[in-house]
Amino acid sequence: MDICKKDSFKTIIFTIIFNIMVKYSSKIIITGGLGYIGSHTVVELQSKGFEIVIVDNLSNSSIEVLDGLKIITGKNVIFENIDLKKSDLVTDLFKRHSDLTGVIHFAASKAVGESVKNPLDYYENNICSLINVLKGLEELNKPISFIFSSSCTVYGQAEILPITEKESIKKAESPYGNTKQICEEIISDLVNSSKNLKAISLRYFNPIGAHESTEIGELPLGIPQNLIPFITQTGAGIRDELTVFGNDYPTNDGTCIRDYIHVVDLAKAHVAALFSIMNNTHSKSHECYNIGTGKGTSVLEAITSFEKISKTKLKYKIGSRRIGDITSAYADTSKANKQLNWKAELSLDQAMASAWKWQKKISK
């Protein structure tokens, strides 16, 4: 059998086993499931037949997301309005859902600048919540698949591009980045001692875009810190102009390079990760995977993509560098391609078009 045939045979067998497993043992808890990436992941999991329990305290999301999810999938989810920092509520939550088989832990605070201003809030929310969730799971004393939302921020400015998972983890640039490093370490320590927990950390690169239905998408609070929402808000006339943070970097056009991944591709990576843990297809009990497209895009290229898909000119100026920005980060995704049988499929233009369609809907 040649390699391609062998791989597709393996995929068919895995898919059959996976579908059977989903049918008979399918309750997954999604913490932060009303948020940007969590909500898109709920859609993908529901399309595969999982029963979903969303746990969210609405600190950075809106209850209306539940309506959007219902419109897209036609299915119901169970919603638990719980603050994961409250350990007694978390213990009680897992007792009520003790038939669960997996948890995807998205819930966290994510604004880098805010984490510099309020480090204790970030350590408390991101680390205490994780510990409460893991303690609750350990108390159940049954096999659990656990997926953690990590970030490419753990690499800082990598020495070798594209970035593989073997890249060294440097001192974090921000308290937010540090929480991701610490959380990954906590998970590693726990799986070493736990007989029940198997975990995957997905290190996301730069998620952008929205579901094609425009029922769910990113809802940045206040002035967006991230590039793509700033571009689409400028295009929609909410912001006067975009400032490009520096054009004197050692890159082709002088602007920084990132790996922008469509949020729907990212959501699908979570299904693939669950599938992989449930089928025991990796050797270590805590594996980390880069989730990106593998393609680097400069800030000016992102602007060009926006102008192309929106058929408008974007108003922008070149400003000074933003403190803490790294020059280039894009993923080597071969580990996820091979071991999770997952690959990003959507292009930058497709992701940008979905972000623009979403922006036009929410700014009406």
Distance CA 99, CA 53 (A): 11
User: Binding to ligand WQD by residue 346, rule CB under 6 A?
Assistant: no
Sole window of 108-116, 228-236, 239-247, 297-305 interacting with ligand NAD (rule: CB under 6 A): 108-116
Specify the residue, 46 or 178, whose C-beta has the smaller distance to ligand WQD: 178
CA distances from 346 to 38, 213, 262, 266, 333 (A): 19, 16, 6, 10, 15
Residues 6+ apart with CB under 8 A from 98: 140, 142
Please, what is the minimum distance in Å from the beta carbon of residue 221 to ligand NAD? 9
User: Binding to ligand WQD by residue 243, rule CB under 6 A?
Assistant: yes
User: Binding to ligand WQD by residue 181, rule CB under 6 A?
Assistant: no
Give how many residues touch ligand NAD by CB under 6 A: 26
Distance CA 324, CA 322 (A): 6
User: Binding to ligand WQD by residue 299, rule CB under 6 A?
Assistant: yes
Q: Which of 289, 286, 215, 267 is nearest to 48 (CA)?
A: 267
**Choice among 36, 155, 176, 204 that is catalytic:** 176
Q: Is the peptide bond before 220 cis (omega within 30 degrees of 0)?
A: no
Specify the residue, 85 or 258, whose C-beta has the smaller distance to ligand WQD: 258
User: What's the one-letter identity of residue 164?
Assistant: T
Distance CA 197, CA 289 (A): 18
Please, what is the minimum distance in Å from the beta carbon of residue 341 to ligand NAD? 22
CB count in 10 Å sphere of residue 185: 12
* Look-up of token digits 């009520």: 96
User: Binding to ligand NAD by residue 201, rule CB under 6 A?
Assistant: no
User: Binding to ligand WQD by residue 206, rule CB under 6 A?
Assistant: yes
User: Binding to ligand WQD by residue 322, rule CB under 6 A?
Assistant: yes
User: Binding to ligand WQD by residue 190, rule CB under 6 A?
Assistant: no
Distance CA 208, CA 291 (A): 13
Q: Are 302 and 228 in contact (CB under 8 A)?
A: yes
Q: Which of 228, 219, 209 is nearest to 345 (CA)?
A: 209
Question: Would you give the distance in Å from CA 209 to the centre of its chain?
Answer: 12
User: Binding to ligand NAD by residue 56, rule CB under 6 A?
Assistant: yes
Please, what is the minimum distance in Å from the beta carbon of residue 138 to ligand WQD? 26
User: Binding to ligand WQD by residue 109, rule CB under 6 A?
Assistant: no
Sole window of 15-23, 50-58, 133-141, 316-324 interacting with ligand NAD (rule: CB under 6 A): 50-58
* Look-up of token digits 């009406």: 364
Binds 345: which of ligand NAD, ligand WQD, none (CB < 5-8 Å by kind):
none
DSSP string, 9-68: HHHHHHHHHHHHHHHHS-EEEEETTTSHHHHHHHHHHHHTT-EEEEE---SSS-TTHHHH
User: Binding to ligand NAD by residue 129, rule CB under 6 A?
Assistant: yes
Position among 34, 77, 137, 261 found at the interface with ligand NAD (CB under 6 A) = 34
User: Binding to ligand NAD by residue 354, rule CB under 6 A?
Assistant: no
Interface pattern 37-56 for ligand WQD (x via CB under 6 A): --------------------
Q: Is 330 a catalytic residue?
A: no
Which tokens go with 124?
């408390």
User: Binding to ligand WQD by residue 163, rule CB under 6 A?
Assistant: no
Q: Is the peptide bond before 162 cis (omega within 30 degrees of 0)?
A: yes
* Look-up of token digits 């769910």: 216
**Residues 139 to 178: which contact ligand NAD by CB under 6 A?**
149, 151
Which tokens go with 357?
């369609």
Binds 245: which of ligand NAD, ligand WQD, none (CB < 5-8 Å by kind):
ligand WQD
Binds 322: which of ligand NAD, ligand WQD, none (CB < 5-8 Å by kind):
ligand WQD
Please, what is the minimum distance in Å from the beta carbon of residue 179 to ligand NAD? 8
User: Binding to ligand WQD by residue 242, rule CB under 6 A?
Assistant: yes
> Contact positions toward ligand NAD, by CB under 6 A?
32, 34-38, 56-61, 83-85, 106-110, 125, 129, 149, 151, 204, 207
